[in-house]
Structure 1
Amino acid sequence: MKLTEKEVEILEILEDNCRLSPDYIAKMVDLTESETNTIIKNLEEQRIIVDYTTQVNWRKVDGHEGVKAMIDVKVQPKRGVGFDDIASRIYRFNEVKSVYLMSGAYDLSVIIEGKTMSDVAQFVSDKLSTLDSVLSTTTHFILKKYKHDGTIFDQDDEDKRIVVSP
């Protein structure tokens, strides 16, 4: 779909900070608030804007650390639907946070969350591996998140450079 320059500009602004008010965005792109609201509403209706999210550093919240895993999945695609059918079956599980079609050795990359490593292991053995199209899986546990969707976590603002004096 071809978008106008203003629509693309609004998308870039919202992608960077979705908490900005339509009035503020309107001033940034030199439109009225009404025009800006109309553009945003149209982009939402066309599912170009899919969701508004918040990045949370759960490691800083006691009792909510949880376990995240990235699972590489090799599948046998079905004739006529390719990978879409199996991807759809996988992303419907509550534990699944993301599913990506990948190039390379594995076909799908699945990101899941559980309370414990056992929860993740049980999901893989009881739910994911039992799907008829799934040929194999490789599970990688995410130990620490440094950067996600452009947001740096645990960034230390302290300047650690050595002071050099003449």
Structure 2
Amino acid sequence: MELLRLLEKDGRMPVKTIAKMLDVSEEEIEDMMRALEKRKVILGYSGIVDWTKVDSPEGITAMIDVKVQPKRGVGFDEVAERIYRFKEVKALYLMSGTYDLSVVIEGRTMSEVGQFVSEKLSTLESVLSTTTHFQLKKYKHDGVVFEDGDEDHRIVVSP
């Protein structure tokens, strides 16, 4: 569990550092990581990018709440599988509350996202309704705060 928590915080942490922190050999850490990858406990390693600081179009991220009619015997799994197979879908969650599924998608433009919702998502037979929310600004993601840190927060004093 400790190894997983360390990797979740920083997937690039050197094996040597992890071994020292957990007081085990580097070989043991490498063996544990291979075993966890083989069992699909560790599914991948990713970086968090602040796309606002890159000179290229950011694209659009939307969160879509979806109300579905679950199917007898398979519940929400069948419709969820159909939805997560779309290339635009970056994340999909079964939720409690008013809506059943929360879908996170990425597109180049708002109209591309709208086209996905109207032509692909809403046309699935189990989908009853959708509500689309466009991400306007990212403040924090996976525990990482997005801020410049260069801004002067001192109070302006005038005579």
TM-score by length of 1: 0.89
Q: Secondary structure at the match of 2:153?
A: coil
Q: Aligned match of 1:116 in 101, 105, 109?
A: 109
Question: Which aligned runs of 4 or more in structure 1 are off by greater than 3 angstroms?
Answer: none
Are 2:3 and 1:14 equivalent residues in the alignment?
A: no
Q: Deviations over 1:57-95 (max 9, x none)?
A: 112212231001000000000111111111111011010
Aligned equivalents of 1:161 and 1:100: distance in 2? 42
Coordinate RMSD, CA, aligned? 1.5
Instruction: Name the residue aligned to 1:46.
Output: 39
Aligned equivalents of 1:157 and 1:63: distance in 2? 22
Q: Secondary structure at the match of 1:139?
A: strand
Instruction: Name the residue aligned to 2:28.
Output: 35
Q: Report sequence identity in percent.
A: 63
**Given residue 137 of structure 2, which amino acid in structure 1 is its aligned partner?**
K
Aligned equivalents of 2:68 and 2:55: distance in 1? 37
Instruction: List gaps (5 residues or longer) in structure 2.
Output: none
Aligned equivalents of 2:88 and 2:52: distance in 1? 19
Aligned equivalents of 1:157 and 1:82: distance in 2? 50
TM-score by length of 2: 0.93
The size of the alignment, in residue pairs, is 156
Displacement of 1:157 after TM fit? Answer: 5.3
Change (3 A) 1:59 1:159: closer
